[in-house]
Structure 1
Amino acid sequence: MRLNTHTDPGLTQASSSSTTVRALEISIAADKALVAEVRHSVRATLASWGAGAIADDMAVVASELAANALKHAGGEATVRLRLTEGRALLEVDDSSMRRPVARRVGAEVEEGRGLFLVQTLAAEWGWRYRQGGGKTVWASLPAPAGCAA
């Protein structure tokens, strides 16, 4: 697991030449037990960055996306959390080319609600194929007012 604070020109706001970005990156092996560590790390990191107001929701989003990546891709996944002024962005990379699909399931079914939860909690979510293979599934939440990146 890596925790970095850096300047990322790719996330520059139009009114400035650079934006400070706080970033957390977690690489996880194909072990579903590590999903709890992802959830804990995302929650603790956001709280330490002054974004505790969204920490629980983003921890659920991270948990669901990481679990889906491990379940459907069957290999390793990388979780990235970035905080810029006004926005927290979570991305999960995996090796699968299968498109994520949110679905509604009946009350008797014990799984299959992950992307529905992500849709419910996130301001935005989506996915894209990665150059070289695999995909990135992402979700964002508005950062709390006064939260300094």
Structure 2
Amino acid sequence: MRSTAHTDPVLTQSGCSSTAVRALQISIAADKALVAEVRHTVRTALESWGASVIADDMAVVASELASNALKHAGSEASVRLRLSEGQALLEVDDSSMQRPVARRVGAEVEEGRGLFLVQALAAEWGWRYREDGGKTVWASLPVPAGSAA
């Protein structure tokens, strides 16, 4: 697993003030054991950026989306986290063209609830096909005012 984080000052539309954009990118090999590291890395990044209030929820979202990407694509995946203007956006790219579908499963089944968790925790979520093949599944959570540095 390889991750990079950075903070960029970005001009606002007025051009007079700036806001920090914090970003993290994680590349993960096709190994489901790395999902726990993704969860930890996302949580730690949000905490260090002053967004602790959403760190646990976004860590669960990251875990579920990364796990789904590795399971259904069977290849490496890329996870991006961006924090800007009171909004955290998580995107997961994989090589599969299979669209994500939340499915109902029985109480005795141990898997299959990931997208229901994402729906419950995220303010919004969705997916899109990528021009270079595969898809991106994304989820966003608002950061309450005064929470993020």
TM-score, normalised via structure 1 length: 0.92
The residue matched to 1:91 in structure 2 has which SS? Answer: strand
Displacement of 1:30: 0.3
Write the distance in 2 (CA, Å) between the matches of 1:125 and 1:101: 12
Distance 1:104 1:39 in 2: 24
Aligned partner of 2:6 among 1, 4, 12: 4
Q: Distance in 2 between matches of 1:71 and 1:16?
A: 44
Matches within 5 A, 1:80-99: 80-99=80-99
Superposition pairs of residues 38-77 of structure 1, within 5 angstroms = 38-77=38-77
Equivalences for 1:1-149 in 2 at 5 Å? Answer: 1-7=3-9, 14-16=13-15, 19-148=19-148
Q: What one-letter code is carried by the residue in structure 2 that aligns with 1:130?
A: R
Q: Percent identity?
A: 79
What do residues 99-138 of structure 1 show as CA deviations (whole Å, max 9, x unaligned)? 0001121111110000000000000000000111010000
Amino acid at match of 1:40: H
Cα distance in structure 1, aligned partners of 2:138 and 2:12: 20
| Misfit runs of 4+, over 6 Å | none
How far the C-alpha of 1:15 sits from its partner, in A, is: 4.5
Using the size of structure 2 for normalisation, the TM-score is 0.92
Instruction: Count how many residue pairs are aligned between Structure 1 and Structure 2.
Output: 146
Match of 1:33, SS state, is: helix
Higher strand share: 2
Could you list the runs of 5+ residues in structure 1 that have no partner in the other structure? none
Aligned Cα RMSD in Å? 1.6
Structure 2 residue identity aligned to 1:5: T
